[in-house]
Structure 1
Amino acid sequence: MGLLIYSNQISVRLQYICKFIFAERLNCAYSITQHAESFEKHDGPKINYSNRTISGDCLQLMPHGLLFEKGIEEQKIFCFDFEGHKAFFKSGLGYGFDIFAASFYLISRYEEYLPHQKDFYGRYNSKNSLAFKEGFFNVPLVDIWINHFATVLQQQFPSFRYAMGSFSFLPTYDIDIAFSYKNKGLLRNAGGFFKRPSLERLSVLAGFSKDPFDSYEIMDTINHQFELMPVYFFLVAEKNSVYDKNILPGNASLQKLIAQHATQYDLGIHPSWASNENGEMLQNEKRVLEKIAGKTITKSRQHFIKMDLPETYEQLLRNGITGDYSMGSGSINGFRASTASAFYWYNLKTETVTQLKIHPFCFMDANSFYEQKFTVEQAAEELLYYYRQCRQVNGQLITIFHNNFLGNAKEFTGWAKMYKSFIAQVNAAQ
């Protein structure tokens, strides 16, 4: 018989987190009831998610209350050690803490709806998050909790069956600036040359050298050799700005590049910085990319990981996006939502479960290089660390690499070799 959960109330929040834990992560049958009598008679694994005492064999889970609230307000959170990892919403009886409420708090990004200090780029500052302050930003804590919870359930109820999915790896590439020198036009190249005179620029423009950001053959070779199914996110801002320095989408070479990739790979939109607060601009960029690619675009990742909740995700939904790949930090590597598993976005403003599926990433090359100041050797160690973290919880490792890191630019020497070596290790372990 399937798992039965008793609760005095059945809220949208409770239904959402139970579906994530039991249906999406553990792939097990479950149901929720408010009827104590039928709960007592149930001959199978049972969770009593209430403060009342119910006779019979069941796992008691004392509710914190968050899942029965509406609206957003500051929560008093005190972390403690639980089975070697941090936990909060402690309980004096039963399991030890309210795993339902704590998991909901983290994956809903509850704290990002509260007043908070922005970083230099106007983004949520991950260093102010509970996960970073309490030292668990670098682990998929929600997945660790769920794995332990499933083990406890199975120990108490040998008939409890679950089938956790297996580890998977999804490489993704952000194409912010498709070429360093080529296809930028006379004025941009002239301006760039006077700001930073370079023989390399002249050599590339004369056709004697390869553009340092042109790493597409390298990526193709890796993708085909190891049978990868990556997603490419293209920035197609129609006007350049301080943070949108892409080759303009009217350029024939960029169009050819996008069209070539569209025939082989999955593509996503990389919404420009300027479009973050302009839904019409996002709509236009998506339309431009779809026209060039010749197919519908439903995936997205914010440029510079520039996002605000709930506004950014609401805008994506209005524009036909069903999969977002922005859930990570734009400054430090780790697990922004404390999970290595995809989940549907819960809009706390409207208290609704949406159709936008969130695919969290935990490693981005730019974080290692620019923000954390890592050498390529240190970045390789960090990448392997996150691979192991995701594999241990049967999650999905999503990485972000940029074409400029994998080309022949001197400042990124060794990155392409490191990346290929990492892919080979992952492939060998499959």
Structure 2
Amino acid sequence: MLLVYTHKISPRVKYAFKHVCTRVLGIDVDFTTTIEKFIAHDSLKMSYTKQQLGNEFFIKSHEIMFEQGLSDISINVHEWENTKCFFYTGEKSAIPFDIFSAAFYLLSRYEEYLPHVKDEYGRFTATQSLAYKHGFLHQPVVDIWAYKFKAALQQQFPDFEFPNRTYSIKPIIDVPCAYNYKLKGIVRTMGGVVKDVLRFRFKSLYLRFAVLLGLKHDPYDAFKYIINRQKSSNYKFLFFFLIGDYSTFDKGINPNKKNFISLIKHVADYCNVGLKVSYFAIDDVEILKKEKNRMESIVNMTLQASRHSFSRLNLPESYRNLVDLEINEDYSMGYVNHAGFRAGSCTPFLFYDLDYEVQTPLMIHPYHIMDFVLLQNRSLLDKKQTLYKIINQVKQVNGQFVPVFHNYTFSDVYRWKGFKELFNIIIESAQND
């Protein structure tokens, strides 16, 4: 166990240390404000305060860890060997940066509480983030810093045996609409026919009728293929089904259709199933509650995981609603148009409510790449290189890689050509280890 001496055991200090030490490095951590207890401890120990006590392992703390609420913080990002960091501590510290304050800033999403311009869907964009502006979005910096901290501790305490963790994957299958043509109802089907005719999309018109007559396979129906890939993998896939009401933004299948309910039940027999929260449920806890109850009645088990439509997040309200409804996991933390690490980590972390200064039970699993990002690369080779780069970043710190693919990504539509191979690369990246 690591014992940390500090002048004040604040909720922020406990939160940051438990993520870096316990979740990333696998070390238990405890805190004390008593010097005598600190001196008597005969294992890993360090001081985390304003001034060094003697010649102990020491990291100078930044004032952000003992504040409440938001303040205007000056952040200067510096190069640090193979990465970048901020909150410089000076030469007396065992490492040159207060990685716990920096980790807290990124994990709490401090910058997303500050004034910023949202995109057309009301999202915080990658280009406004500190990580993007200073060129470290592509790295899980919190995990990298944790390993640097571990190396410094090992030098000071060479006899201590640190546990090792292994690289893992958690593939996400997002299902905004289970079928392209099936189960749409007469009105939507006829509307689609008219659109196909007016836009001279005769191939789509032919395919629509062929699917409806049972002569062709619906292009979005890749569930059998995905389940078969699941069977050959050591890791369970996690499906998110949209079962909210039809709206301007959500155009899924009617959740009362028996065949759609049967599909969800069938997938749940082999994979984990969560709720894809509809666009308007993100800001309305009553709609969210209705969708939660609807999903639980379909799968006959308590809902554990959610993912917001369009990866929309309105902090802290979006996460508070999940906490209130006792949904324990969320998979919305990432950027739709950029690969990388929105919260700076590839290790799941608990949501910290900055308004109430409290750690909540909601576990956030950040995702690191979405299939749409790979569409930005023209050739399959470029797509593979982008994917390998992000996988290697996670592998270097033995983290959890979370990619988001959609059910229609596995179709034979031209824009998704080669994406089955890309998905196989992800599966094999864990099997190779």
Secondary structure at the counterpart of residue 183 of structure 2: coil
Secondary structure of the structure 2 residue equivalent to 1:48: strand
Q: What secondary structure sits across from 1:283 in the alignment?
A: helix
1:188 aligned residue = 188
Alignment partner, residue 162 of structure 1: 162
**How far 1:25 moved relative to its partner?**
1.8
| C-alpha distance in structure 2 between counterparts of 1:255 and 1:376, whole Å | 36
Percent identity reads 35
The 8 Å contact of residues 3 and 160 in structure 1, kept in 2 or not, is answered as no
Question: Does residue 1:80 correspond to 2:78, yes or no?
Answer: yes
- 1:327 shift after superposition: 1.1
User: Which ranges in structure 2 are unaligned for 5 or more consecutive residues?
Assistant: 198-204
Q: Pick from 415, 423, 426 the counterpart of residue 419 of structure 1.
A: 423
Q: Contact 1:213 / 1:409 at 8 angstroms: preserved in 2?
A: no
> In structure 2, how many angstroms separate the alpha carbons of the residues matched to 1:420 and 1:3?
40
Amino acid at match of 1:78: N
SS of the aligned residue for 1:43 comes to coil
CA distance, structure 2, for counterparts of residue 426 and residue 28 of structure 1 = 24
Equivalent-residue separation in structure 2 for 1:354 and 1:33 (angstroms)? 23
The answer to whether the 8 Å contact 2:351/2:362 transfers is: yes
What is the CA distance between 1:221 and its match in structure 2? 1.5
Match of 1:211 among 218, 221, 225: 218
Partner of 2:335: 329
Q: Match of 2:423, SS?
A: helix
Structure 2 residue identity aligned to 1:358? I
Q: Which amino acid aligns with 2:169?
A: F
**Matched-pair contact (CA < 8 Å) for 2:3–2:38:** yes
The 2-side partners of 1:53 and 1:205 are apart by 74
Q: Distance in 1 between matches of 2:334 and 2:426?
A: 21
Q: Is the 8 A contact 1:5 1:49 kept in 2?
A: yes
TM-score of the superposed pair, with normalisation by structure 2: 0.94
2:369 matched to 1:400?
no
The SS at the match of 1:301 is strand
Report the counterpart of residue 135 of structure 2 in structure 1: 135
**Closer/same/farther in 2, CA of residues 164 and 116 from structure 1, 3 Å limit:** farther
Q: Does 1:101 align with 2:101?
A: yes
Matched, 1:378 2:352: no
2:325 alignment partner in structure 1: 319
1:357 aligns with 2:385: no
* Residues 374/10 of structure 1: CA separation in 2 closer, same or farther (3 Å cut): farther
User: 2:346 corresponds to which letter in structure 1?
Assistant: A
Shift of 1:164: 3.4
Which range moved further: 84-93 or 404-413?
A: 404-413
Correspondence for 1:233: 240
Report the counterpart of residue 201 of structure 2 in structure 1.
none
Instruction: Give the CA RMSD over aligned residues.
Output: 1.6
User: 2:57: which partner in 1?
Assistant: 59
Q: Offset at 1:410?
A: 3.1
Instruction: Tell me the amino acid that sits aligned with residue 174 of structure 1.
Output: D
Distance in 2 (CA, whole Å) between partners of 1:305 and 1:269 is 13
- Which residue of the partner structure matches residue 24 of structure 2? 25
Partner AA of 2:138 in structure 1: N
Local SS of the residue matching 1:143 = helix
> CA 1:374 to 1:285, structure 2 compared with 1: closer, same or farther past 3 Å?
farther
Determine the C-alpha separation between the residues in 1 that align with 2:426 and 2:9.
46
Q: Distance in 2 between matches of 1:77 and 1:227?
A: 42
Quick check: 1:222 aligned with 2:229? yes
Distance in 1 separating the partners of 2:290 and 2:377:
36
Cα distance between partner residues in 1 of 2:28 and 2:241: 40
Contact 1:45 1:159 in 2 (8 A): no
- How far apart, in 2, do the equivalents of 1:363 and 1:153 lie? 32
Tell me which amino acid in the other structure corresponds to 1:14. Answer: V
SS in 1 for 2:171: strand
The aligned counterpart of 1:273 is 279
Instruction: Tell me the TM-score normalized by structure 1.
Output: 0.95
1:104–1:367 distance in 2 versus 1, CA, 3 Å: same
1:326-366 superposed Cα distances (whole Å, 9 cap, x missing partner) = 11112211100000001111111100010001111101102
Task: Summarize deviations over 1:131-184 as a string: whole Å, max 9, x none.
Answer: 010111111000000001101111112133321321111111011110001110
Q: Is the 8 A contact 1:44 1:159 kept in 2?
A: no
Change beyond 3 A, Cα 1:219–1:59: same
CA distance in 2 between partners of 1:206 and 1:293 (Å) = 29
Aligned to 1:250: 256
Report if the CA contact (8 A) 2:173-2:404 is conserved: yes
Gaps of 5+ in 1: none
Letter in 1 for 2:72: E
Report if the CA contact (8 A) 2:230-2:236 is conserved: yes
Distance of 2:430 and 2:22 partners within structure 1? 28
SS in 1 for 2:239: strand
